[in-house]
Structure 1
Amino acid sequence: MAHDTLQKFMFEGAPVRGELVELSDTWRHVQARRAYPAAVKTLLGEMLAAAALLSANLKFNGAIVLQIHGDGPVRLLVVECDGDLQMRATAKFDADTVISENAMLGDLVNLHGNGRFVITLDPKDKLPGQQAYQGVVPLDGDSIATVIENYMLRSEQLDTRLWLAADEHVSRGLLLQKLPSTGGIDAPIDDDLATWDRSVMLASTLKQAELLDTDIETLMRRLFWEETIRVFDPKHPTFRCTCNRERVGSMLQMLGAEEVESALAEMGQIEVDCEFCGQHYAFDKVDCAHLFAVESVAEAIPAASHVKH
């Protein structure tokens, strides 16, 4: 059985790396949550491929979260991918708005110029006082690929090129990145630039339909057959949602006892559906009383210890 695949490779003798990703099972799980309009589906699928490509180069144990906060009919696009390439994604959009199949990024999320692109790097095992790193920039570009390319160049000082495509069946992407030269003063910088320029030129011949319809092995051979490339062991992204009842309970505790009691009085119980996977959670009066009883006990323990001493 074929698995979703991410393939990393390096151009031999030059600081240029590349990745190809193909997501079908993972993408199918994401789409099972709700029916997305075709244009929204394309954007979310492209972001899913981009997150996998960027996550594969992270040097820490944690997750990368890509978000687009929109001011058009699409209010939010979010994709999360951890170091093991476990992924989840969702989009929020105005259900009452008719979204054209041909709607572009600007029409969907940057209608009034207030759209924002956010990258969050969230370490899994945070040190005391450590916060997740977050970069927030205006939407600069007319496609997901261009927005990320501009972000990487300005914020990370890395020349990065992306080719992304998605339909209802598959999400695919290609990343090329020019790394800082590791050579000394006599290093052949011109050769490095030539390799970079040539690789980008070759990849730029790739049409979106070709990217959608061609498997990773064939794409790599078709694009770079004249290049000397070192290929690494493939990785296999999967869908996984990190929601659980404990996290939802913590969210309710953050709302506060007064607001939770008000909601219970009105509805009888509090129901929460995960935006990523659709898992349903229900908390009745007994469940909520237990949440805040546990919180009260936890707060009282230090005081009791202090009295003891």
Structure 2
Amino acid sequence: MSEIPVTAESSANDSIARFLFEQSDIRGEVVTLTDSYAEVLANNALPAPLQNLLGEFLAAAALLSSTLKFDGVITLQAQGDGPVPLIMAECNHHKGIRGIVRPPESGEFQLTDDTSLQGILGKGVLAITIDPDKGERYQGIVPLEAPTLAGCLEAYFTQSEQLPTRLWLMADGQRAGGLFLQALPKQLVADEEQNADQWQTVVTLANTVKPDELLYLDHSQKLYLLFNEFSIRLFEPAQLQFDCTCSETRSLHALAQLGRSELQEILTDQGHITIDCQFCNQHYRFEQAHIDALFSGDEPTLH
């Protein structure tokens, strides 16, 4: 048994860190969200089971963002025909996260901690969208067939990357956490059977993780507890924070897609146009002068 080498502080609060099994072809990521998760929940009045599921989506988005090798955003969006029609979370290359849940329209819908993903979202799909600042947008879609978000994401990796991949996601309304493991192409271990045995052993050990361990231990403690029979290198963590990308300018240019005539009808009827950001509850109000400037090509004066 050996300690885990760590290149920097491994505090778990609002951070994500990658790690490698030094004698095995396996990599991983570990994440814990605290204040950033709380800020997202502050903008979403949700019952506890939906708070927990949204936390899992946020942790998953952060874990998947580690695969980005360019500037951009990764978005997880689940849509279905169930009581909750939409859950979405995203993480950008600055490690800014945000997320929303479109709550049930009927207050009669009852949720418990045991309600499955299908019980919440119904029959639908999970879309994983990678949107680089430069280059083409990519989207992968998998059906919501597994009972958990982790299971749906594992199906996505099976279909898209064909590399064995496992995820563990948990949240309790205070903290959200996740563990990501992926088998790498053979480099260190040439023997195929030995390679498969190592992967199965690591997954079996990871399956023993308890909610309190995943959520409340710091990263080095967590990995040592699970994998102390392996030599692991834990790298410097990256800090995460709540980050909403909305702005007056973005909102105004989004309005332009409606066309001038439709916007003019709204202005005539209401005297102004308002846009509310569902992620941060910011309110933007636009007057006639803003719309005139938008379509004249002048830069509107914003406040």
User: Is the TM value for this pair above 0.5?
Assistant: yes
User: What is the aligned counterpart of 1:179 among 158, 179, 184?
Assistant: 184
Distance 1:173 1:211 in 2: 7
1:55-74 equivalences under 5 Å are 55-74=65-84
1:204-219 equivalences under 5 Å are 204-219=207-222
User: What is the aligned counterpart of 1:8 among 18, 22, 28?
Assistant: 18
Q: 1:303 aligns to what?
A: none
Alpha-carbon displacement from aligned partner over 1:84-122 (angstroms, at most 9, x marks no partner): 211111111224333313322111111xx2x11101111
Whichever of the two has the greater Rg, that structure is 1
Alpha-carbon displacement from aligned partner over 1:115-140 (angstroms, at most 9, x marks no partner): 111011111123xxxx3011122212
Contact 2:12 / 2:31 at 8 angstroms: preserved in 1? no
**Counterpart amino acid of 1:245?**
E
User: What is the aligned counterpart of 1:101 among 112, 133, 142?
Assistant: 112
Deviation at 1:209, TM superposition (A): 4.1
Deviation at 1:51, TM superposition (A): 0.9
**Larger deviation, residues 98-107 vs 249-258:** 98-107
* Unaligned segments of structure 2, at least 5 residues: 1-10
Number of residue equivalences: 287
Segments of 4+ moved more than 4 angstroms: none
User: What is the aligned counterpart of 2:148 among 131, 143, 149?
Assistant: 143
Distance 2:203 2:127 in 1: 26
**Counterpart amino acid of 1:12?**
E
1:233-248 equivalences under 5 Å are 233-248=236-251
Q: 1:249 aligns to what?
A: 252
Q: 2:206 aligns to what?
A: 203
Contact 2:141 / 2:156 at 8 angstroms: preserved in 1? no
Q: TM-score, normalised by structure 2?
A: 0.89
**Aligned-pair RMSD on alpha carbons?**
1.9
Q: Alignment partner of 1:74: what SS? A: coil
Contact 1:39 / 1:104 at 8 angstroms: preserved in 2? no
Distance 1:71 1:283 in 2: 34
Contact 2:32 / 2:175 at 8 angstroms: preserved in 1? yes
Q: TM-score, normalised by structure 1?
A: 0.88
Distance 1:280 1:189 in 2: 57
Change (3 A) 1:228 1:2: closer
Alpha-carbon displacement from aligned partner over 1:38-58 (angstroms, at most 9, x marks no partner): 121111110110111111122
Q: Does 1:125 align with 2:134?
A: yes
Q: Alignment partner of 2:182: what SS? A: strand
Q: Does 1:42 align with 2:52?
A: yes
Instruction: Name the % identity.
Output: 40
Deviation at 1:20, TM superposition (A): 1.0
Larger RCO (CA under 8 A, 6+ residues apart): 2
Contact 1:269 / 1:285 at 8 angstroms: preserved in 2? yes
Distance 2:217 2:104 in 1: 34
Q: Alignment partner of 2:134: what SS? A: coil
Deviation at 1:16, TM superposition (A): 0.3
